[in-house]
């Protein structure tokens, strides 16, 4: 992954030691709750507080609202390694899933933002924290019950495991790998598609989940052909970033139209409704007509890498 491409990936940044060994220590969360150095990242309905200076609002335990009952979900995110954040290096940080804000409503200089909105302007440390918190809390929400017995699962190991008390089995967070591809032809045009779930003028790269028993490269070839009818070759890995909506890891590739095959793109008519090839000049000229993926996404990063510049005309 080139440095220029890395710098385009807002959700791949981090300055946090996840402190895996400490997670297994019994009573860790209560120990951290009693430590005045601990800072809490409150998350409510997928949003977190951002201060007027653009940083996440991390609060001392004593400032946690009294409405936060002891059974609220807490997850140990790790220790800050940032030398530029307000909190010193080594500060332990705990995510708290909260329904009622209580006294926090009085902080009028905070703006509650979800990860998609906040990430592009957050620091490396804060972007990593909010990405991690969003991903792990989404996993908890989707795994409240055991898939084996149907019993209510119990969070353990500082929020990184859920245990089925009936079968006495542990369930760990999972991430679904998905490929996303910048397809180019011999004229170096880029293929963009319109998904049936989007507003009518939004176009992005083609993507899809990796199937069981499939390599990433095979997934690239299969997905592109399924969605466009185009045969591609020479998939080349660019980089990755988490996409915790709810639990994906997006693996970015480029690929070229296979030699001896055509460039006539045929949308599958189900997921993809339209496909268009763009030269660089054509894409720039179309920015008033079409919407590109948001700046938070790896799709935007791949498009900008191919274009050779940052697209400032769209958020």
Domain positions in the chain: 11-127, 176-307
3-state helix, strand, coil in the chain (%, to 5): 25, 30, 45
> What is the pLDDT, as a whole number, of residue 98?
85
Peptide bond into 167 cis (omega under 30): no
Instruction: List the one residue out of 86, 81, 93, 87 whose CA is nearest residue 22.
Output: 93
For residue range 200-259, what is the model confidence (pLDDT) as tens digits? 899 999 999 999 999 999 999 999 999 999 999 999 999 999 999 999 999 999 999 999
What is the number of other CB atoms lying within 10 angstroms of the CB of residue 25?
Answer: 13
> What is the pLDDT, as a whole number, of residue 199?
87
With 80 as the cut, is the pLDDT of residue 298 above it? Answer: yes
User: In this structure, are residues 39 and 59 in contact, taking their beta carbons and an 8 Å threshold?
Assistant: yes
Phi, psi of 234, rounded to the nearest 5 degrees: 60, 55
Coil, strand, or helix at residue 193? strand
Q: How distant is the alpha carbon of residue 48 from its chain centre?
A: 15
User: In this structure, are residues 244 and 166 in contact, taking their beta carbons and an 8 Å threshold?
Assistant: no
> What is the pLDDT, as a whole number, of residue 70?
61
> What is the pLDDT, as a whole number, of residue 105?
66
| CA atoms of 157 and 18, how far apart (whole Å) | 13
84 Cβ neighbours under 8 A, 6+ residues apart:
123, 125
**Stated pTM of the model:** 0.92
| CA atoms of 176 and 164, how far apart (whole Å) | 22
DSSP 44: B
Lowest mean pLDDT among 99-103, 157-161, 258-262: 99-103
**If you average pLDDT over residues 184-194, what whole number do you get?**
97
DSSP 204: B
| CA atoms of 178 and 250, how far apart (whole Å) | 5
> What is the pLDDT, as a whole number, of residue 287?
96
> What is the pLDDT, as a whole number, of residue 228?
97
For residue range 7-46, what is the model confidence (pLDDT) as tens digits? 889 999 999 999 999 999 999 999 999 999 999 999 988 8
Percent of the chain with pLDDT over 90: 85
> What is the pLDDT, as a whole number, of residue 134?
97
> What is the pLDDT, as a whole number, of residue 72?
84
Identify the CATH homologous superfamily for domain 176-307: Nucleoside Triphosphate Pyrophosphohydrolase (3.90.79.10)
> What is the pLDDT, as a whole number, of residue 8?
87
With 50 as the cut, is the pLDDT of residue 192 above it? Answer: yes
> What is the pLDDT, as a whole number, of residue 82?
97
């Amino acid at each position: 992954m080139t440095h220029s491409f890395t710098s385009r990936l807002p959700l791949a940044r981090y300055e946090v030691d996840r402190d895996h060994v400490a997670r297994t220590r019994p009573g860790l969360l209560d120990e951290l709750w009693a430590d005045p150095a601990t800072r809490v990242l409150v998350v409510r309905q997928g949003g977190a507080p951002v201060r007027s200076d653009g940083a996440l609002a991390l609060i001392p335990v004593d400032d946690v609202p009294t409405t936060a009952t002891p059974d609220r979900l807490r997850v140990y995110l790790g220790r800050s390694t940032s030398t530029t954040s307000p909190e010193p290096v080594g500060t332990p940080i705990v995510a708290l899933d909260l329904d009622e804000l209580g006294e926090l409503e009085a902080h009028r200089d905070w703006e509650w933002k979800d990860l998609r909105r906040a990430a592009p302007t957050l620091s490396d440390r804060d972007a990593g924290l909010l990405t991690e918190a969003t991903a792990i809390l989404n996993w908890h929400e989707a795994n409240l019950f055991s898939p084996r017995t149907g019993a209510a699962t119990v969070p353990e190991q500082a929020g990184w495991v859920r245990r089925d008390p009936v079968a006495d089995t542990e369930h760990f967070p999972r991430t679904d790998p998905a490929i996303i591809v910048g397809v180019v032809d011999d004229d170096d045009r880029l293929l963009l598609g319109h998904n049936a779930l989007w507003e009518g003028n939004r176009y992005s790269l083609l993507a899809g989940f990796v199937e069981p028993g499939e390599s990433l490269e095979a997934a690239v070839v299969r997905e592109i052909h399924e969605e466009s009818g185009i045969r591609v070759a020479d998939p080349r890995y660019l980089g990755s970033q988490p996409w915790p909506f709810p639990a994906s890891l997006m693996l970015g590739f480029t690929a070229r139209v296979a030699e001896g095959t055509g460039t006539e793109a045929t949308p599958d008519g189900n997921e993809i409704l339209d496909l268009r090839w763009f030269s660089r000049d054509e894409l720039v000229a179309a920015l008033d007509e079409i919407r590109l993926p948001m700046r938070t996404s790896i799709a935007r990063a791949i498009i900008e890498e191919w274009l050779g510049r940052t697209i400032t005309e769209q958020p």
